[in-house]
Structure 1
Amino acid sequence: MRSLLVISAGLSQPSSSRRLADMLAEATRAKISARGEGAQIDVIEVRDLAFELATAMTDQTAQTPLLARAKQQVADADGLIAVTPVFQGSYSGLFKTFFDTLEPHGLDNLPTIIAATAGSSRHALILDYALRPLFNQLHANVVPTGVFQAIEDLGTPEGERIAARIERSAIQLADQIVVPQDRVPGIAGDLTGLGGRSTVRLAKENFIPLDKLLNGYGK
Structure 2
Amino acid sequence: MDNHLAAAWCWLQKIDTSKRYGLFHIDRHYDLLNNLTDDFIAENRSELINKDFFFYLSLKDNMNNQAIRYDNYIDAFNKLHPNLLQQIYYATHKDGTDQNGTSLEHINTYEPNLWELDTNINYWLTECHKDIDQWIVNIDLDFFFTGEDGECSQFITRKYIKNICKEIKNSLPKIDVVTIAISPEFCNGWGNAFNILRVITTELDIYMPYKYKRYKKHSFLF
TM-score with structure 1 setting the length? 0.37
> Of Structure 1 and Structure 2, which has the larger fraction of its residues in helix?
1
* Higher Rg of the two aligned structures: 1
For CA contacts below 8 A with separation 6 or more, give which structure has more relative contact order: 2
